[in-house]
Amino acid sequence: MVRLGCSGWVYSDWRGVLYPQGVPQRAWLRRYAEEFNTVEVNNTFYRLPSRDAVSAWVEQIPGKFLFSVKVSRYLTHVKRLREPAPGLERFLERIEPLGRSGKLASLLWQLPANFHRDDERLAQALAVASERAPGRHAFEFRHPSWFSPQVMELLRERGAALVIGDTPERPFQPHELTADWTYVRFHRGSRGRGGNYSRRELEEWARRIRRWAARGDVFAYFNNDWKGYAVRDARALARLLERGGRD
């Protein structure tokens, strides 16, 4: 299974690209779900959502649509994985309607670029996550010290996915699979204009994703939201995947 979408859906410059002029913002999620089968929720990183807001997401989107949800920055950037249980419990309480509905795909843990490798903290976070929130967890490391065999083994022991993050700012991030599923984040293209992805880049990614999908589920999200690039790139990649990697 390949789930392909964007990081968020509330962007004013997507008007005319994904959202017709005149469509109110409250209808944007429903319109988004007409085209994509998953979304990565980014605003949960900045503030805890209300349960009513999360329930509204569930009610708007029937069927098999899935949400990947970014964990609060309190856990990853303020506490830096120290004593994660209380903060994770508060977070899970807020997003409980997603879990109950079966629409929660995974939790995304994005660590800051200045957070160096700490195996003990990671192991504790993985243990708490497995106990309190059974399911899929993906970890995005942004400092090169994390990309070691020992850290990869910690992820494998818990079935957590290493986020395959794509951006020219972090060329050291590997394409390594640590679980029976994969999580990809497209931050910025290297060969497009202004941060979008070139056709050749998308062809290369289509080939990779098809290989990974033969081993397990793939969740992939475009985060280059400005100027509607994420929507256009996700559409183009979806076409390539549908046609065997060739558009």
First to last CA, the chain: 20
What does the pLDDT look like over 3-51, one tens digit per residue? 999 999 999 999 999 999 999 999 999 999 999 999 999 999 999 999 9
CATH code for the domain in which residue 195 is found: 3.20.20.410
- Per cent of the chain over pLDDT 70 is 99
Establish if 117 belongs to a structural domain.
yes
- Average the pLDDT over 113-130 and give the result: 98
Tell me how many domains the chain contains.
1
Confidence (pLDDT) at 245: 46
- Would you say residue 178 lies in a domain? yes
Q: Is 226 part of a structural domain of the chain?
A: yes
Q: Rounded CA gap, 117 and 106, in Å? A: 23
User: Residue 247 pLDDT > 60, yes or no?
Assistant: no
In a domain, 247, yes or no: no
Total residue length of the chain: 247
Q: Write out pLDDT tens, residues 124-169.
A: 999 999 999 999 999 999 999 999 999 999 999 999 999 999 999 9
Q: What is the mean pLDDT of residues 67-88?
A: 98
Q: What is the pLDDT of residue 178?
A: 98
- Please give the average per-residue pLDDT across 77-85, as a whole number: 98
pLDDT of residue 80: 98
Tell whether 11 is covered by a domain: yes
DSSP per position, the chain:
-EEEEEE-S--GGGBTTTB-TT--GGGHHHHHHHH-SEEEE-GGGTSPPPHHHHHHHHHH--TT-EEEEEPPHIIIIISTTSSHHHHHHHHHHHTHHHHHHT-EEEEEEE--TT----HHHHHHHHHHHHHHS-S-EEEE--SGGG-SHHHHHHHHHHTPEEEEEE-TT-TT------SSEEEEEE---SSSSTT---HHHHHHHHHHHHHHHTTSEEEEEE---GGGHHHHHHHHHHHHHHTTT--
Q: Which domain holds residue 71?
A: 2-242
| Per-residue pLDDT at 218 exceeds 70 | yes
Mean pLDDT score, 218-235: 97
